[in-house]
Amino acid sequence: MQASSRARLFKEYKEVQREKVADPDIQLVCDDTNIFKWTALIKGPSETPYEGGVFQLAFAVPEHYPLQPPQVRFLTKIFHPNVHFKTGEICLDILKNAWSPAWTLQSVCRAIIALMAHPEADSPLNCDSGNLLRSGDVRGFNSMARMYTRLAAMPKKG
Amino acid sequence: MAAKEIAGGSGFVDDGSDGDPCPICLGPMLQDSYLDTCFHKFCFSCIKQWIKVVSSKASKQLSSVKCPLCKTDNFSVIHNYDGCSFERHYIDQNISDGFVLTKEQRYRLRCYYTESDFVADVSDVARFWKLQKFLYPNKWLEAWLRRELQALMQEEDVDIVLFHLVGVMESFCKRIEQRRKQEAKSAEATNQEQFKTLVSEAARPFLMARTDRFVDELELFLAAGMNIEAYDEIYKQRLGWNNRREIGAASEEREAVEEHNVRTRVTPYLFISEEDSD
């Protein structure tokens, strides 16, 4: 079983090497010693409070991958209704019930970028963030998210 | 990927190995199969594993599965296709996998994609009609018909069609017999025509486009006057199928035995129907 997931991850690894130039917003890196551990750096989408930030994701790939989804969490602190503020856990359907084995680590990254641009306030993991959006306080939400992007996802100045 | 790059540009498309990797394992397509509604292709073992995972999560027996690529609902996976037959793996395990052709039935189905005249010297059709051999019962006929019908209709239960055809043939023979008592001789050409027309008519609703060839094959088998094993042996030998190119997947043991057999390829053989009887 592990052999097939390993083979598939290796295929993805090669694909990532090839595509690196094609998708400048995603930088997927495989752990040097363990092909089941990956990290990704994704750029915060433009015209969102995350713009200009670089967010680090950690992937733990299960041995039954791609029949089971990878576990992904934010290592970089982010203020987003669908991301747990403390653990970085992500609430995204494709990482749970809607997973399909045709997804790849790369496409999961794209889905997470899309989630950053389109928060789903009705299924919040971060209630404070969800409540701001649900009460219509977009400005409040944006400034909080912006602040955390500056604090955690941007290089320190000076 | 490499295969695609090599083949790229030449417009060469080899079905099954067209270079697109399986979306699940990302490797080359092994035992390619496709979903019955959206036609997306996967390795058979990959999509089967995925179906198993989805089913294990469901609380009740699923009847369909969403395509991993497009989320269309699909009810079965088509696999093991070779241009003349295929197998179907239903998502709902209560629906049996349908009727799966045996190796022998696959061989018969394959015969329908060849020229038919290469056994003409084995089955002396003209003589068969001239000597009115059709009036003598052929004890292998039913078994031969059953296999033939199962192969052509890809169905297990062919009893109705089988007995219908046997009935038509029997009543034909009876009529001829009665007529023979009255007249001295009946023209074999008209018998042959009549017989083939009758059987064609009876079989056509079930076999459709393959009816004519079926009737020809039936005539050849009857005229050969052999049992099924002997007839198959010769038939396959003539086709050159008892060698490497044996149909069906698991034929290694057979190949080992027949490896040293003389390789005789089919040479189109023109059969002259007017036998030189003198």
B215-256 confidence digits (pLDDT tens): 999 998 998 888 999 988 888 888 776 554 444 444 444 444
- Kindly state the average pLDDT of the residues B145-170: 90
Smallest Cβ–Cβ distance between B50 and the set A4, A7, A101 belongs to A101
Give the domain CATH number at A51. 3.10.110.10
Predicted-complex ipTM score: 0.86
Which residue, among A61, A64, A132, A70, has the nearest Cα to A95 in the 3D structure? A70
Burial (Cβ within 10 Å: 0-12, 13-18, ≥19) of residue A50: buried
Cβ contact (<8 Å) for A8 and B27? yes
pLDDT in the model for residue B245: 44
Alpha-carbon gap: A130 to the closest alpha carbon of chain B (Å): 29
Cβ contact (<8 Å) for B24 and A15? no
Compare B25 and B96 and report the one with higher pLDDT: B25
- Kindly state the average pLDDT of the residues B194-214: 91
Cβ contact (<8 Å) for B23 and A12? no
Domain boundaries, chain B: 2-95+246-260, 116-241
Q: Which residues of A touch B66 (CB under 8 A)?
A: 100
- Mean pLDDT computed over every residue of chain B: 77
pLDDT for B189 beyond 70: no
- Kindly state the average pLDDT of the residues B186-200: 83
Q: Which residues of B touch A106 (CB under 8 A)?
A: none
pLDDT in the model for residue B263: 40
Coil, helix or strand for A80? coil
Domain count, chain A: 1
pLDDT for B271 beyond 60: no
* A24 DSSP 8-state letter: T
Q: What is the reported pTM?
A: 0.65
Cβ contact (<8 Å) for B49 and A67? yes
Alpha-carbon gap: B251 to the closest alpha carbon of chain A (Å): 28
Cβ contact (<8 Å) for B24 and A102? yes
pLDDT in the model for residue B274: 44
**Chain B: residue nearest A67 by CA?**
B50
* Token pair recorded at residue B66: 């969403």
Would you write out chain A's pLDDT as a tens digit for each of its 158 residues? 578 899 999 999 988 888 766 788 999 999 999 999 999 999 999 999 999 999 999 999 999 999 999 999 999 999 999 999 999 999 999 999 999 999 999 999 999 999 999 999 888 999 999 999 999 999 999 999 999 999 999 887 65
Query: Are B248 and B127 in contact, with CB atoms under 8 Å apart?
Result: no
Alpha-carbon gap: B88 to the closest alpha carbon of chain A (Å): 22
pLDDT in the model for residue B242: 57
Any CB–CB contact under 8 A between A3 and chain B? no
- Looking at CATH, the fold of the domain delimited by B2-95+246-260 is given as Herpes Virus-1 (3.30.40)
Alpha-carbon gap: B48 to the closest alpha carbon of chain A (Å): 11
* Token pair recorded at residue B92: 């709902």
pLDDT in the model for residue B244: 44
Any CB–CB contact under 8 A between A15 and chain B? yes
Q: Give the number of A-B residue pairs with CB atoms closer than 8 Å.
A: 34
Q: What is the set of active-site residues of A?
A: 91
Cβ contact (<8 Å) for B27 and A100? no
pLDDT in the model for residue B252: 44
Paired with A26 in beta bridges are A42
- Which of A25-34, B51-60, B186-195, B197-206 shows the lowest mean pLDDT across its residues? B186-195
- Kindly state the average pLDDT of the residues B87-99: 74
Domain-embedded: residue A158: no
Domain hosting A103: range is 1-153
pLDDT in the model for residue B188: 66
pLDDT in the model for residue B186: 58
Q: Residue B260: which pLDDT band, with cuts at 50, 70 and 90?
A: very low
pLDDT for B266 beyond 50: no
Query: Are A122 and A25 in contact, with CB atoms under 8 Å apart?
Result: no
